[in-house]
Structure 1
Amino acid sequence: MRTNTQISVRSGLIAAAAALPLTLAAPSVAADNGITVTSTGSTVSVNTAACPGGGNASLLSSGLTTFTQGRQAVLAVGATNQTAAWSNVSPGAYTVIVNCNDGRNVGSQPVTVTLTPTLSTTNSPALGVRGGIGGGIKDYGTLTMVGGGVMVAAALGGGAWYIRRRNTHHRT
Structure 2
Amino acid sequence: MYTSPEKLAETIALQQRLLREAMVEQANLLKPLAKPIEQQEDQQNKYEWKVKRRSDGTRYITRRPIRSKVLKAREEQLNRERIGLSTDDDAMSELKIGKFWTREERKKHLEKSKERKLRHQQNVAQKNAQTHDPMIVQLSHRKMMRRQGQQLFDKFTTIQEFLAHGSRDPSSSLGGILSVTTV
TM over 0.5: no
Answer with 1 or 2: which has the greater Rg: 2
TM-score by length of 1: 0.28
The structure in which a higher percent of residues are strand is 1
TM-score by length of 2: 0.27
